[in-house]
């Protein structure tokens, strides 16, 4: 079975054709349980998310702030395994028919085996992987197998990324480019800031120069409809993670958490449609 990179590309193109940014939600697998995580991801789609990133919980998540670290810790203490991540992708994709990616650090894939990981992700119906700590110059093996299995390779760029680096990343990546809106870790913030818009513009220019017209989606800091509308005014996609996880953590029980995810997705979906 081939992966669903084309579904991801079509979904992002479809949002653009509607004159809006796509809403990309992030939730970790295995949080609060494997079954509970699957229900939460389905709820995000039900509420209006176009794409979901399934986090592969990691003991040392260098990009993730305290909210996602807390969720990862709960998932890891619950015994979540890569097989559970694949099951999460499979069940949410089969239930919704929408693009599901995995966001993971490189070490778990390296230990699991690149060919095994990409083959299983494609078999599960996954659309690709976001790899925040894999340097593009060390990514040839991954990209070879990802391309073989029709999976997107999404690299992360930051405001500190030089233009030459942006060109290299956009030429090597596929699906979209993940633009980290500011230096630091994930988490909700009062303002997303002008750095994000500058980074999106520079990434697009670099991509055009490299012959790679990839959508640019912005994450790190977006937590409400107003911020989603602001980012939707200049980005192709708005990525929200910590705000969804916080709804789950703050809820009285798992059912309320799932309803909180659905409600937040609905608010954010309206935000990306109105644009600031």
Residues labelled catalytic: 53, 64
3-state SS, the chain, equals: CCCCHHHHHHHHHHHHHCCCCEEEEEEECCCCCHHHHHHHHHHHHHHCCCEEEEECCCCCCCCCCHHHHHHHHHHHHCCCCHHHHHHHHHHHHHHHCCCEEEECCHHHHHHHCHHHHHHHHHHCCCCEEECCCCCHHHCHHHHHHHHHCCCEEECEECCCCCHHHHHHHHHHCCCCEEEECCCCCCCCCCCCCHHHHHHHHHHHHHHHHCCCCCCEEEECCCCCHHHHHHHHCCCCEEEECHHHHHHHHHCCCHHHHHHHHHHHHHHHHHHHHHCC
Question: Chain centroid to CA 25: how far?
Answer: 6
Torsion angle (degrees, nearest 10) of CA 167, 169, 170, 173: 160
Q: How far is CA 10 from each of CA 56, 101, 204, rounded to the nearest angstrom? A: 25, 14, 19
Query: In terms of Cα–Cα distance, which of 178, 162, 197, 183 is closest to 62?
Result: 183
């Amino acid at each position: 079975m081939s992966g669903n990179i084309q579904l991801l590309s079509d979904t992002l193109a479809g949002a653009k054709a509607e004159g809006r940014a796509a809403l990309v939600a992030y939730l970790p697998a295995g949080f609060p349980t494997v079954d509970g995580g699957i229900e939460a991801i389905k709820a995000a789609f039900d509420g209006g998310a176009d794409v979901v990133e399934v986090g592969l919980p990691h003991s040392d998540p260098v990009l993730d702030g305290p909210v996602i670290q807390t969720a990862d810790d709960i998932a890891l203490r619950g015994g979540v395994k890569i097989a559970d991540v694949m099951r999460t992708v499979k069940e949410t994709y089969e239930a919704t028919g929408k693009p599901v990616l995995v966001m993971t650090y490189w070490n778990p894939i390296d230990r699991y085996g690149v060919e095994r990981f990409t083959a299983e992700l494609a078999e599960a119906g996954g659309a690709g992987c976001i790899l925040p700590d894999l340097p593009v110059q060390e990514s040839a093996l991954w990209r070879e197998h990802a391309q073989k299995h029709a999976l997107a390779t999404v690299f992360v760029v930051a405001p500190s990324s030089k233009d030459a680096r942006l060109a290299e990343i956009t030429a090597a990546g596929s699906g979209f480019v993940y633009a980290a809106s500011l230096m630091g870790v994930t988490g909700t913030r009062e303002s997303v800031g002008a750095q994000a818009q500058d980074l999106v513009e520079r990434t697009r220019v670099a991509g055009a120069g490299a012959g790679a017209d990839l959508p640019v989606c912005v994450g790190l800091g977006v937590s409400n409809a107003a911020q989603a509308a602001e980012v939707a005014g200049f980005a192709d996609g708005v990525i929200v993670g910590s705000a969804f996880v916080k709804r789950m953590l703050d809820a009285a029980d798992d059912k309320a958490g799932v309803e909180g995810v659905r409600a937040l997705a609905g608010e954010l979906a309206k935000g990306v449609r109105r644009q600031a």
